[in-house]
Structure formats: C-alpha cells, structure tokens
Amino acid sequence: MKYFGRTPLEKVVCIGYALMMVLILGVCLFGNNIDYSGKTQILFAEPLLLCCGILIIGGLAVGLNWLFRHIPKNEKAEERILLFLSILLLIFQAYCVWNYYFSTGWDVAIIMEASEAIAHGKNLEDFQYYFSTYPNNLLIVWLYGILIRFFNLVRVDYRIGILFFQCVLSWGTGLFLFDTARQITNSRFAAWLSWILYLILVGVSPWVSIPYSDSTGLIFPVAIFWCYVKMEKEESNKNKQQIIEKYKDKNINDLLYINDYQNYISKIEETINNNRIRIKGLEIEYNTIVPQLDEMVVLEEKREADKEKLAELREKESIINIAIENLMDAYEEMKTTITPKFTKNLSESIQKISSNKYNKVTINDENGMIIENNRGEYVEAIKLSTGTIDQLYLALRLSMIDELSKENLPIILDESFAYSDNNRLKNMLQYLTSDLNNHQTIIFTCTDREQKMLEAMNIPYNVVEL
C-alpha cells in the first residue's frame, strides 16, 4: 500500500482517484450504447482506439528507453533541448492560431461578450441567468476582461491576444509537467515521455484556439501540483541535511548494519591494534628484556600477515558487492522479461493437466507460487493436496523445457505419478503425448498403472522391463 500514500487521507484520495479512472475507462470501453446528440456509430471504436493508444505509448516508451540507454546523461543539455522544443511548440501554436482562429457560439460566445462588458466598465446584468447557472466561469470572465483592457491599450486585436496568451500558458504547462514528472520519478525517461504525451494530446490540439477554461485553466492544477512536489522535495532535502548534521561526527559503524563479514574484518583490525600496542611495549623493554625480542619479531610478522589477509578480505568484499549488484540487476531484468513468459507457459500447462480446474499461476516475492482455480479463488501452492502439488511441479518442469534448449530434449519421469489418481494420470499422459509429442518421453515406474492407462487411451508405447 505504499504506492497509495502515507497518511489515511492520502490513501483515501489515491484509491478514490484510481477507482474514478477505472470507471472512466469502463464507460469509454463499454458505454457504446449511451446515446447523445450527433453520435456516430463505429463498430469496436473504443477497443480499437485503446489498442492504438497503447501501441503508440508503448512505442514511445521503447524508443525513449533505447535512446537513453545509448546517450550519456547531461541534464543541462537536456534542459536546453527542452526549452528549444518548447519555444518551437509555442511558435507553432501561435502560427496555427493566427491562421485558423474563428468565433464560436455556446458558452464561449457568452463569456467573450461578458468579458468585453467587464473591460468597458459595464455590469453583468444581461448575463445574470447564465452566471447564476455557471458561476464557475466568473473568474475567467474577470481574467479575460483584464486581458482585453491590456490588448486594447497596446492596440492589438484582443481575440488574437487572448489566444496567444493561451499558447503561452500551454507552453508553461508543458515545462511544469516535465519538471514535475522528473522530480517525482527521478527519471529523465519518465519526464520526457510525459512531455511528449502532453505535446501529442494537448500541445498540437486545436482546442488552444478556443478562449475557454479548458485551455486557460489547465496550467493551474499542474502548477499547483508542481509547487507541492517542489515543497515535498525541499522538505525531504532539509530532513536529509538535518540527519547529516546530526550524525556527521559519529562513526559510520554506529549507524549502519554490520554483517558477519564486516564483523570478521573488525576483529582482525582489533587484533592488529592489539599487536601494535604489544610491539610498542616490547620496544620500551628492548634494552632490558632481550628474550622478548624473538616474540616481537613473531608479532611483527603476524601483523604483516594480518594486513595482507585484511587487504584480501576487503578485495573479496568488493567483488561480492559487485556480484550482488549484478545479480539484483539480472533478477530485475528476469522479472520483466523471462518471468511473464514462464508464468504464461506454466499457466497453460497446469490448465491442460488439471482439466481446467486451475487456470492461472502467478509467482511473487512474498507468497511464492499462487494458483487461481476455476472459481476465481487464489490458493497458495503449499496448501494444495499432494497429488495437485505433483501436477503443479510437473507442469513447472515441463514449462521450462523449451527455454532450456532449442533442441527437442527427452523427458525422463521417475515415479512422477505415484500420488496421482486415475483422472490426474490420464490428463498428464494426454498432455505429454499431445502437447509435447515432439519430445521422447521415458517413464520409470514400479507399477503397471501407466501401461494400462496408455492402452485404454489407445496411445502407442514401448515397454522395457528391468
């Protein structure tokens, strides 16, 4: 639940927002029977648009990921590129607005008339009915009234001036969005992907040519969210600085967890220090206690040996840390590339072997292997019966066979059906002889159950008795 906020209020807001987005997606996908004015029926329009959107966003994500893997990180250069592209977007929007601006009806016409009245010092009595119904538009009327006064003062057509003002707001919204995504995720990939999606969905949209709250007001929630993220970042940095100031004079070993390996190194260092003290004592007594000279030599040699051993252990520690880091990277890559395909093959195998009694298998770090039955219930593997577990682990091994080698490896089973009843035995033999018929299957058994079942199923086989 850490992704749904830290406080109860944050969790409620995040979960509510997620449910709202799911509801909107559901209406968009399955609300095709809802009628409205001017509706055009297009077969499968919603799923097609959703698939196209997923493909476009996926393609952008893959392209950006490949690009950032091959281009070194340079924040200053990227900020200059972003500013340059944003200015090009602003010029493009201004050029488009200049050429295709047109006056519209409905709310926009009323708002522009009311704004002109405000700009010329008139009241809004003629618009009382509209603003009693839609008081939320009073703020934008006041803003447009100020802009009309300004553009009249500088002798610029206020209609074009307001639209240019919206272009500037759109330009600033993109910059705020880029920096917000970068601060939240600490990833240039996420920041650039957010800005490009904003460019496609908003930046090149002709809606910027309509003087209305949809275009003018977009910057405000984004800017507010940017300020919130900025404050959170500054607060976090302040807390980190306070912790650094508090513990900067303390030994790092008092603050960090020390594992057994580090404890071993500490004991060696303690031994070295004790030997140094002993050597100093022997040096003081050198002139009076000659027999102890031999002991001093031995301790000196032991100290040098301990130094070499300490250096060797530190080198091994460094190698182990690098190996751990590489293993973690490989594990993360495996979870995103190999594991989905593996679990898909495993789910298909267990579904066929169990006659659709179990449909899906998932694997996670907390609960291990979890199986979904045909009633939609999720059960941990360790809670299943012995026969079902045998089915599951047979499916587990068989689902990996094509990943181990491109060749058709033989399948060798030694008493693999000992805990399986006749139905499970029949399903597993059917799966081996149909789905894996390109592999040679060798079954070791001390009973004739498998032989009788193969004969009952009219499946040819060879018997070798030992």
pLDDT digits (tens, 9 = 90+) for 427-445: 888 878 877 778 888 888 8
Confidence of residue 251 (pLDDT cuts 50, 70, 90): low
Are the C-beta atoms of 163 and 101 separated by less than 8 Å?
yes
> Which pLDDT score is estimated for 292?
58
Residue 299 above 50 pLDDT?
A: yes
Average pLDDT over residues 365-376: 74
Q: Whole-angstrom Cα distance, residue 176 to residue 179?
A: 5
Q: How confident is the model at residue 298 (pLDDT cuts 50, 70, 90)?
A: confident
Degrees to nearest 5, angle at CA 348 with 347 and 349: 90
For 73-84, write each residue's pLDDT tens digit: 777 777 788 788
Q: Does residue 257 register a pLDDT over 50?
A: no
SS3 361: strand
**CA distance to 352, 417, 420, per residue, from 423 (Å):** 12, 11, 8
Which of the residue ranges 246-255, 277-286, 408-417 has the most confident prediction, judged by mean pLDDT?
408-417
| Mode of pairing for the β-strands spanning 368-373 and 378-380 | antiparallel
* pLDDT higher than 80, residue 382: no
Q: Is the pLDDT of residue 346 over 60?
A: yes
Query: Would you say residue 279 has pLDDT above 80?
Result: yes
Q: Let me know: does 141 contact 115? Beta carbons within 8 Å.
A: yes
Confidence bin at 112 (pLDDT 50/70/90): confident
Using CA atoms, how far apart are residues 389 and 417, in angstroms rounded to an integer? 11
Burial degree of 131 (CB within 10 A; 0-12, 13-18, 19+):
middle
pLDDT score recorded for residue 331: 61
- What count of other Cβ atoms lies within 10 Å of the Cβ of residue 75? 9
Q: How far apart are CA 193 and CA 182, in angstroms?
A: 10
What's residue 402's pLDDT? 67
In this predicted structure, the answer to whether residue 252 has a pLDDT above a threshold of 60 is: no
Whether the predicted pLDDT of 339 surpasses 50: yes
If pLDDT is split at 50, 70 and 90, which confidence band does 353 have? confident
pLDDT band per the 50, 70, 90 thresholds, residue 335: low
pLDDT tens, position by position, 159-203: 878 788 888 888 888 888 888 888 887 777 778 888 788 887 777
Alpha helices in 31-137 (DSSP H): 45-70, 75-100, 106-119, 128-133
Gap between the Cα atoms of 32 and 47, Å rounded:
11
Which tens digit of pLDDT belongs to each residue from 143-152? 888 888 888 8
Q: Which of 158, 177, 167 is nearest to 215 (CA)?
A: 167
Q: Which of 411, 414, 424 is nearest to 447 (CA)?
A: 414
Percent of the chain with pLDDT over 70: 83
Instruction: Quote the mean pLDDT of the chain.
Output: 77
**Which structure tokens are listed for 170?**
């759109």
The candidate with the shortest Cα–Cα distance to 391, out of 443, 353, 435, 444, is 353
Instruction: Answer whether 50's CB lies under 8 Å from 29's CB.
Output: yes
**Which is higher by pLDDT, 445 or 108?**
445
What pLDDT is stored for residue 1 in this prediction? 41
Percent of the chain past pLDDT 90, that is, above it, reads 0
Tell how far CA 269 is from the center of its chain.
43
Joined together, the tokens standing for residue 382 give 């360790």
Average pLDDT over residues 303-314: 85
| Contact residues for 409 (Cβ-Cβ < 8 A; gap 6+) | 401, 439
Give the residue, 402 or 374, on which the prediction is more confident. Answer: 374
User: What pLDDT is recorded for position 407?
Assistant: 77
Write down the pLDDT at residue 55: 83
328, pLDDT greater than 80: no
Instruction: Band the pLDDT of 244: cuts 50, 70, 90.
Output: low
